[in-house]
Structures are given as C-alpha cells and as structure tokens.
Amino acid sequence: MRSFAPPLRACALVAVAATLSGCATRQSMDAEYEKALAQWQGASEELLVQRWGKPQSEEQIGSGKWLTFVVDNPGAASSRPTVGISIGGFGIGGGHTSIGGGVGVSAPFGTATPAAPSTCTTRFLIENGKVSTWTFDGPGCGASG
C-alpha cells in the first residue's frame, strides 16, 4: 500500500499563502478606511449625524466646525468551548481505500480575558453645512470601516 505525502515545498507554499491571506497591514487598513470616508465628501452635516450618531465633541473654527466621533471596536475574546467533527476518505488505485474520522473539542484554559477595544477617532470638518475634509487616528480605524 502506498502512503500519500505531499512534497514539502507544496506544504510550505500553502502555509505561506494561508498566513499572508489572513494578514492586513496597517497601511492597507488605513487606505480602505480613507476610501470609505471619501464617500462622505460633500455630504450634509444632517446626513452625517444621522448615520454616525451624535458626535463626541464639536469644535468651532473660523467659518466651520470639526465634528469628532469615537468608535470602540470591542475585542473578540471568547470563553466558550468549541467542537469540530471531520470525516474523510482517500483512495489509491488497486481497490484499497482508507476512511477516517475524528472529533476535536477545545475548552478555554482558565478565564478568558476580553481583548482591549480598538478605538478609532474620526473627525469631519463641516464648512457651509457640508463635509469638506476629515482625519482619523487609532488602531480601530479600518477594522470595521
């Protein structure tokens, strides 16, 4: 009976691809958030407040004002156990077939501590009743867009 073992190089490529596909850089997240905020260019103050809620603060400057919104994106810690079930089969010519299955259970170790929230502070400059520009800062920006 033959055993199946994928080449080491193929396994390494799959591992690298899986790692890279799940990662977003701070720059790419900021660029996506900037793109989302650009859609507010020229929007009315009323629409902005309707969609974003009451601003954390307002600061008058010259003929305009800055509206500041602070959003906390909560951490994702969990204290619930998980269960996974799998079944599979593999056949190699000659009438030999292998079938296998398994059950995996994970339980939290100790007490789960929630991750710290990621805060994003976004400021919109309102001039003549419309959004003219914006700024943002914080690790939570772009995380939820």
Rg (C-alpha) for the chain, rounded Å, is 25
- Mean pLDDT lowest for which of 61-70, 76-85, 127-136? 76-85
* Cβ contact 24:145 at 8 Å: no
Task: Decide: pTM greater than 0.75.
Answer: no
pLDDT at 6 over 90: no
Q: If you ran DSSP here, which 8-state letter would residue 133 be given?
A: E
Contacts of 53 (CB under 8 A, 6+ apart): 69
Q: What single letter denotes the amino acid at residue 29?
A: M
pLDDT at 139: 86
pLDDT digits (tens, 9 = 90+) for 94-105: 665 555 555 555
CA distance 34 to 120: 13
| Closest to 75 (Cα-Cα) out of 33, 115, 44 | 115
Q: Which runs of consecutive H residues, i.e. helices, occur in the chain?
A: 8-21, 26-38, 45-52
Residue 122 near residue 83, CB atoms below 8 Å: no
Give tens-digit pLDDT for 27-76: 888 889 999 999 999 999 999 999 999 999 999 999 999 999 998 876 54
pLDDT value of residue 73 = 75
Which pLDDT value is given to residue 25? Answer: 78
pLDDT score for 145? 43
Beta-carbon contacts of residue 23 (< 8 Å; ≥ 6 apart): none
What pLDDT was estimated at residue 17?
Answer: 41
**Mean of per-residue pLDDT scores for the chain:** 72
* CA–CA distance, 40 with 44 (Å, rounded to integer): 9
The CA distance from 86 to 23, in Å, is: 27
